[in-house]
Amino acid sequence: MAKTDLFKAPDYYQIDDLLTDEQKLVRDAARAWVKKEVSPIIEEYYEKAEFPKQLIKGLGEIGAFGPYIPAKYGGAELDQISYGLIMQELERADSGLRSTASVQSSLVMYPIWKYGSEEQRIKYLPKLATGEFMGCFGLTEPDHGSNPGGMTTNIKDQGDHYLLNGAKMWISNAPFADVAVVWAKNEQGRIKGVLVDKGMDGFSAPEMHGKWSLRASSTGELIFDNVKIPKENILPGRDGLGAPLSCLDSARYGISWGAIGAAMDCYDSALRYSKERIQFDKPIAAFQLTQKKLAEMITEITKSQLLALRLGQLKNQDKATSAQISMAKRNNIEFALKIAREARQIHGAMGISNEYPMMRHMMNLESVVTYEGTHDIHLLITGMDVTGIAAFNG
Amino acid sequence: MKFLVCISKVPDTTSKIAFTDGDTKFDENGIQFIVNPYDEWYALVRALELKESLGGSVTIITVGGQADEPVMRKALAIGADEAVRIDAEAKDPGYIATQIASYAKDKDFDIVFCGKETIMYNNAQVPAAVAEYLDVPFISLATKLDLNGNTATIERDAQGGVEVVELQTPFVLSAAKGMAEQRIPNMKGIMAARTKPLNVVPAFDAAETTQVVSYETPSGKAECKYIDPENMDELVSLLHNQAKVI
């Protein structure tokens, strides 16, 4: 039987006071939707490794798809903090669900909005905003993860069209996507954005199986075998590696909020459990080592909240740098993962069961700490930013 | 059809409750407020459903200060067409009902919806008093409402059963669980709420009819005592001498 979701969000530094009424309304609507629609089913879908497709319409309705996109393209014209808060609430439920929304918003809608032609915007964005169309983003390749500039996927100009060849891997939403934003090199070695529609000859997107992480998210490959791409399917607004990296900036920003959601859920569960679980005639919350864990958790959650909020303010002013975003993504995931592990310990043996969310969050976060720039690469980004010396190339 | 829905702000149910001013006033410091669930989930949503099927408009009304506006925006985001805030401190139920009735009396509302009570003070007096001041019928604890022209058929909770009543508009009802299902505001609604009118009306002249002398929080739960099932004498003795219930 589905459990009642008792989640209560911690707000140790009264950060709510720094949010606008509309930001709180957006967040609370997402939170209420998660409690009603996601919490009762997420463990089941995680266990059977299936994306709950029936949630797509609701995700569109709560504004999880491109909330900051202008209204004329179907977006909600929300600010970046509202976007972050929606990601927080979705990842409070499950990182896979947040991943689906992050990909749709930041990796599909964002590049079409920023770099697409007006025709492309009108064709894709309103349908992506409601979830009628789902999208995916193809950058990572089997042999090129942290080094996307080395990609081998390519387009060749055939006069009235391009031919696309290559393969992408670890692509969220790929198996059911209606459109893929794919990054490929042209004959001059310049990276271009290509819109690949579902059903194009030579294009397939097989699902990848055997994941112990993000099991409630659908992940696949993108395989291009002489796919004929109409010239109007190229994103005209920007090329070069900076184009996909700017999309990753937007997604990483959302992830920095999302991680807080996962951490909050683990902390909330641990706090409640520690007050209810009696050992040696008293709640385990009365023991110093439990209190140490809880104190450290709420401290790190609060620090992450402040980091994300300030980053959101900078994003709203269009002043956030890639390096600042990188720091928040790395820090907030690192501590969310630690919090999931500590929270699991507080639950003792019960912590390994799907009665509680920590193991699921923990396994999910092992992906989140790796995707959209690994933890180590993000350290090197900060390192480069403060020293002025890039350490990527050994 | 014109519907008026009375909305109150109440503390989130997980709030820590404290008092100020010599325990005569609820301490709002640090409290997160929500729309009173009976107002939001049942009264407002049923009014919206009727508007959607029959046409018309839904106005929400609150007696309170500017701090009440976030919950009013939420009601607008859920689907109400306009909001009215009577700029007065929400004092006792008679005072609040006078404010609402004074505003509503010349507006020709077909139905005034209220929640059956606020989860904060549990007075459950405002809806009846509004009906009295408007000189229209009042139906309490309504769990189902259907409209056919101006004839309303209402089911209401009665002790151990259901009572079905029929009456003509206009009237006031207080909505209970079962009347409708909670709606979560969607993004379209939140966007629309940005530009929906929220009119502030000055307070009407009215007197407070009651004064709060003091509030007390419930005393903590006593420790649970376990009695051996074989030891009936001790159980009876404790119930008689300590709990004084037998």
Structure confidence by residue, pLDDT tens digits, A309-338: 999 999 999 999 999 999 999 999 999 999
Least confident of A164-178, A279-293, A337-351, B25-39: B25-39
With 80 as the cut, is the pLDDT of residue B220 above it? no
When the pLDDT of each residue in chain A is averaged and rounded to a whole number, the result is 96
The predicted model gives B175-195 an average pLDDT of: 95
Set out the domains of chain A in order of their start, with CATH numbers: 15-134 (1.10.540.10), 136-233 (2.40.110.10), 242-387 (1.20.140.10)
Q: How much is the pLDDT for A1?
A: 45
With 70 as the cut, is the pLDDT of residue A154 above it? yes
Backbone angles phi and psi of B51, in degrees to 5: -60, -40
Question: In whole angstroms, what is the distance from residue A326 CA to residue A385 CA?
Answer: 10
The predicted model gives A162-173 an average pLDDT of: 97
With 80 as the cut, is the pLDDT of residue B221 above it? no
Q: Determine whether the interchain pair B190/A25 forms a contact, defined as Cβ–Cβ distance below 8 Å.
A: yes
Asked if residue B172 lies in contact with residue B132, where contact means CB atoms within 8 angstroms, the answer is no
Polymer length of chain B: 246
Q: How much is the pLDDT for B5?
A: 98
Percent of chain B with pLDDT over 90: 76
A243: left (phi over 0), alpha (psi -120 to 50) or beta: alpha
B83 class by beta-carbon count within 10 Å (0-12 exposed, 13-18 middle, 19+ buried)? buried
Q: Determine whether the interchain pair A36/B70 forms a contact, defined as Cβ–Cβ distance below 8 Å.
A: no
Q: Determine whether the interchain pair B70/A14 forms a contact, defined as Cβ–Cβ distance below 8 Å.
A: no
Q: How much is the pLDDT for A2?
A: 55
pLDDT in tens, B116-153: 999 988 889 999 999 999 999 999 999 999 999 999 99
Name the 3-class secondary structure at A98.
Answer: helix
With 80 as the cut, is the pLDDT of residue A3 above it? no
Asked if residue B147 lies in contact with residue B1, where contact means CB atoms within 8 angstroms, the answer is yes
Nearest CA to CA, how far is B16 from chain A (Å)?
13
Look-up of token digits 């609604």: B189
Q: Which residues contact B135 (CB under 8 A, 6 or more apart)?
A: none
* Tokens of residue A336, six digits: 């969310």
- On chain B, the residues whose CB falls within 8 A of the CB of A61 are 186-188
The predicted model gives B79-85 an average pLDDT of: 98
Tell me the CA distances in angstroms from A161 to A157, A188, A203, one per residue in order.
Answer: 6, 16, 16
Backbone angles phi and psi of B171, in degrees to 5: -160, 170
How does residue B203 score in pLDDT terms, banded at 50, 70 and 90? very high
Q: Determine whether the interchain pair A63/B187 forms a contact, defined as Cβ–Cβ distance below 8 Å.
A: yes
Nearest CA to CA, how far is A36 from chain B (Å)?
9
pLDDT in tens, A50-91: 999 999 999 999 999 999 999 999 999 999 999 999 999 999
The predicted model gives A101-124 an average pLDDT of: 98
Among residues A250, A244, A148, A159, which one has the least CA distance to residue A194? A244
Output DSSP code: residue A13.
T
Check if A47 is active-site: no
* Tokens of residue B78, six digits: 């859920």
* Tokens of residue A34, six digits: 């998660």
To 5 degrees, how large is the angle CA A337–CA A341–CA A342?
115
With 70 as the cut, is the pLDDT of residue A394 above it? no
Q: Which of A16, A26, A32 shows the shortest C-beta gap to B190?
A: A26
- On chain B, the residues whose CB falls within 8 A of the CB of A72 are none
Q: How much is the pLDDT for A220?
A: 97
Which residue type is seen at B105? K
Q: What own/partner pairs with CB < 8 Å and gap ≥ 24 does A359-363 have? A: A360/A42, A360/A43, A360/A46, A360/A94, A361/A94, A361/A95, A361/A262, A361/A265, A361/A266, A361/A336, A362/A266, A362/A337, A363/A212, A363/A213, A363/A215
Q: Which of B14, B73, B188 shows the shortest C-beta gap to A25?
A: B73
Q: How much is the pLDDT for B224?
A: 78
With 80 as the cut, is the pLDDT of residue A231 above it? yes
Among residues A217, A190, A71, A192, which one has the least CA distance to residue A136? A217
Nearest CA to CA, how far is B197 from chain A (Å)?
16
Question: In whole angstroms, what is the distance from residue B88 CA to residue A165 CA?
Answer: 69
Q: Determine whether the interchain pair A25/B30 forms a contact, defined as Cβ–Cβ distance below 8 Å.
A: no
Q: How much is the pLDDT for B15?
A: 85
Question: In whole angstroms, what is the distance from residue A8 CA to residue A34 CA?
Answer: 13
Percent of chain A with pLDDT over 70: 99
State how far Cα B89 lies from the chain centre: 16
The predicted model gives A134-144 an average pLDDT of: 95
Q: How much is the pLDDT for B87?
A: 97
Chains A, B: CB contacts within 8 A come to 46
The predicted model gives B79-90 an average pLDDT of: 96
pLDDT in tens, B85-116: 999 998 889 999 999 999 999 999 999 999 99
How does residue B158 score in pLDDT terms, banded at 50, 70 and 90? confident
Percent of chain B with pLDDT over 70: 100
* Tokens of residue A212, six digits: 């112990």
Q: How many CA atoms lie within 13 A of B77 on its CB side?
A: 26
Nearest CA to CA, how far is B185 from chain A (Å)?
6
Chain A interface with B: residues with Cβ < 8 Å: 8, 14, 16, 21-22, 24-26, 28-29, 32-33, 36, 61-63, 67, 71, 76-77
Q: Determine whether the interchain pair B184/A14 forms a contact, defined as Cβ–Cβ distance below 8 Å.
A: no
Q: Determine whether the interchain pair A77/B191 forms a contact, defined as Cβ–Cβ distance below 8 Å.
A: yes
The predicted model gives A279-284 an average pLDDT of: 96
Q: Determine whether the interchain pair A16/B32 forms a contact, defined as Cβ–Cβ distance below 8 Å.
A: yes
Set out the domains of chain B in order of their start, with CATH numbers: 2-215 (3.40.50.620)
Nearest CA to CA, how far is A121 from chain B (Å)?
20
Q: Which residues contact A260 (CB under 8 A, 6 or more apart)?
A: A88, A91, A301, A304, A305, A308, A332, A336
- On chain B, the residues whose CB falls within 8 A of the CB of A16 are 32
Asked if residue A343 lies in contact with residue A351, where contact means CB atoms within 8 angstroms, the answer is yes
